Amino acid sequence: MKNKFIKAAAAQAIRPGSMQRVSLDGHRILIANVDGNYYAVDDTCSHEDASLSTGSLRGELVKCPLHGSRFSVRTGKAMEEPACDDLRTYAVRVEGDDILVALG
């Protein structure tokens, strides 16, 4: 089945080094801009129910605001405990000024 890309945000709204949470079809997704490249992962920390969008982004690593777990927004990999489970990643593409995220 082909991925269904959905408009998630305006590219100009997410500057390099920043991130934004969006809701798409009931999914809370974090979009991060790392050096001009956009990545999308689940917004909820895999350790506890915390929104990663309220954490901090340093390079490609987003830090959970509750217990400090870090995740790669490029790969979704849990890089630091207490989180052990990786985040789901989503395909991203940019068309004009629109950031599109694939949910499939």
User: Does residue 5 belong to any structural domain of this protein?
Assistant: no
Within-domain flag for 95 = no
- Reported as a single tens digit per residue, the pLDDT across 34-43 is 999 999 999 9
With bands split at pLDDT 50, 70 and 90, how would you rate the model's confidence at 2? low
The 10s digit of each residue's pLDDT in 48-78 is 889 999 999 999 999 999 999 999 999 999 9
Is residue 104 included in any domain, yes or no?
no
50 burial class (0-12, 13-18, 19+ CB within 10 angstroms)? middle
Number of domains within the chain: 1
Q: Is residue 52 part of a domain?
A: yes
What is the domain-level CATH number for residue 84? 2.102.10.10
**Domain containing 29: what range?**
17-90
34 lies in a domain?
yes
